[in-house]
Amino acid sequence: MTRVCFTLQVDPAKLDAYRAAHAAVWPDMLRALADTGWHDYRLFLRPDGLLVGFLETDDFAAAQAAMARTEVNARWQAAMADFFPALGEARPDEGMLVLEQVFHLEEQLGG
């Protein structure tokens, strides 16, 4: 299982609406994420709009591609686009900046 961490920048003026959207994610979107290999998916939001995402997956590129083929993802990305003005015409799921893991406690402990 691969761990993936990424960042995006949410428009600080729209944080409450962003939180509300994620408090009630569409059931078909939730199912699509689970069905396409997004496991233990979490989002963390800083007061200035920095969004940090984390997930586990067998193959991140394959999980992204599988989601991109779903109809619900196209609708969700369109609904989320206004929260990410810095991305311009790119969809939010195309604008993720994936971070390099540089430390993992259990790996260094040998566990």
Please list the active-site residues. 22
Six token digits for residue 89: 């015409």
Displacement of CA 55 from its chain's centroid (Å): 8
Beta strand pairing status for 39-45 and 97-98? unpaired
Identify the CA nearest to 101 among candidates 4, 9, 33. 4
